[in-house]
């Protein structure tokens, strides 16, 4: 395994069909050439991920998605113009001959243009769309640093492209553009309010499969206990301490961006420190707070 900041080294590995951990503004991804089914299948093996669970395919710009999809609806064009590159994934109808493994065998494909400069260099230098779910064991807490990737996947990865800590810290918003009006399949840093400002109604319904939407996901080894306010959280911490249970309080009040940025690192640190119970105060249910709550409910469902 090579750890590097050189996108040329990473591009050579992608072209060779190897796995590369890539930094994005959201979380680190485990990347492979999306047009090479044998390379993409290595992702599922390394993560222990069901091969029917679709991946997100990363591209440099909207110009790169035309060969991969049947058509680009106006909703997708408008969202790309406003939010790409950035933490927004669009689901479109896939060309039947393209990226079958990356789509999990489904008729749709999830596409995103990341904003992290190193991964943008990688996409440009490799000239390949890159399929990349989060670079961690399936169902575990997503990685937001290169160290997290190595801790989870180690030698399963040929190259770790080290771009420092991820800026956002939560996975991208996923929008299904195959329905009208569009449907939000997963919340993220691009909020429903921002999408509505571009498209209007986003209340479409969809049963399209999407990454990161299983009931139990993003889960640390420790128990995650969710509470609605700081006072109750302190009472629970005191009770756990009295019983000799190693516990830790995670409470960011209304600091939503800091909460999102630090959440996964905080949960991983709980595991590193052998914490038995992480008591987490839920954020407000609007803006990126909705995305944080989504990840926390899924993390807690496995406790």
Is residue 217 in some structural domain? no
34 and 126 in a single domain? The answer is yes
195 and 264 in a single domain? The answer is no
Polymer length of the chain: 303
pLDDT at 80 (0 to 100): 97
178 and 60 in a single domain? The answer is yes
45 and 179 in a single domain? The answer is yes
Is residue 218 in some structural domain? no
Q: Could you tell me the two tokens for 255?
A: 């600091």
Is residue 271 in some structural domain? yes
pLDDT at 139 (0 to 100): 82
pLDDT by 10s per residue, the chain, length 303:
999 999 999 999 999 999 999 999 999 999 999 999 999 999 999 999 888 889 999 999 999 999 999 999 999 999 999 999 999 999 999 998 888 899 998 999 999 999 999 999 999 999 999 999 999 998 889 999 999 999 999 989 999 999 999 999 999 999 999 999 999 999 999 999 999 999 988 887 788 877 766 665 778 999 999 999 998 999 999 999 999 999 999 999 789 999 999 999 999 999 999 999 999 999 999 899 999 999 999 999 865
Is residue 56 in some structural domain? yes
165 and 243 in a single domain? The answer is no
Q: Calculate the alpha carbon distances from 91 to 88, 209, 286 in Å.
A: 10, 10, 23
135 and 16 in a single domain? The answer is yes
pLDDT at 92 (0 to 100): 97
Is residue 270 in some structural domain? yes
CATH number of the CATH domain containing 94: 3.90.870.10
89 and 234 in a single domain? The answer is no
244 and 98 in a single domain? The answer is no
Burial of 243 (0-12, 13-18, 19+ CB in 10 A): exposed
pLDDT at 135 (0 to 100): 96
275 and 186 in a single domain? The answer is no
Is residue 205 in some structural domain? no
Closest CA to 134 of 93, 68, 89: 89
pLDDT at 303 (0 to 100): 59
38 and 187 in a single domain? The answer is yes
263 and 191 in a single domain? The answer is no
Please give the residue range of the domain that contains residue 80: 2-199
pLDDT at 201 (0 to 100): 84
**What is the domain count for the chain?**
2
pLDDT at 20 (0 to 100): 98
8 and 146 in a single domain? The answer is yes
Is residue 211 in some structural domain? no
Is residue 214 in some structural domain? no
């Amino acid at each position: 395994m090579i750890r590097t900041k050189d996108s040329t080294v990473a591009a050579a590995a992608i072209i060779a069909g190897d796995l590369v951990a890539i930094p994005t503004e959201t979380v680190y991804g485990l990347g492979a050439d999306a047009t090479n089914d044998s390379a993409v299948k290595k992702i599922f093996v390394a993560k222990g991920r069901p091969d029917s669970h679709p991946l997100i395919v990363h591209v440099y710009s909207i110009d790169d998605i035309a060969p991969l999809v049947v058509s680009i609806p106006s909703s997708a064009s408008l969202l790309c113009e406003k939010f790409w590159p950035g933490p927004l994934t669009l689901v479109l109808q896939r060309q039947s001959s393209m990226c079958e493994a990356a789509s999990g065998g489904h008729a749709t494909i999830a596409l995103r243009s990341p904003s992290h400069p190193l991964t943008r260099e990688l996409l440009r230098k490799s000239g390949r769309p890159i399929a990349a779910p989060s670079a961690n064991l399936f169902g575990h807490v997503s990685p937001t640093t290169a160290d997290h990737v190595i801790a989870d996947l180690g030698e399963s990865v040929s190259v770790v492209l080290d771009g420092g800590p991820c800026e956002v810290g939560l996975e991208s918003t996923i929008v299904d553009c195959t329905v009208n009006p569009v449907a939000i399949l997963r919340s993220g840093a691009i909020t429903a309010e921002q999408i509505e400002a571009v498209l209007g109604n986003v209340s479409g319904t969809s049963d399209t499969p999407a990454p990161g939407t299983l009931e139990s996901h993003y889960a640390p080894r420790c128990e995650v206990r969710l509470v609605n306010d700081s006072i109750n959280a302190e009472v629970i911490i005191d009770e756990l301490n009295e019983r000799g249970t190693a516990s830790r309080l995670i409470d960011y009040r209304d600091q939503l961006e800091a909460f999102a940025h630090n959440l996964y690192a905080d949960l991983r640190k709980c595991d590193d420190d052998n914490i038995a119970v992480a008591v987490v105060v839920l954020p407000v249910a609007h803006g990126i707070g909705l995305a944080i709550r989504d990840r926390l409910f899924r993390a807690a469902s496995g406790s």
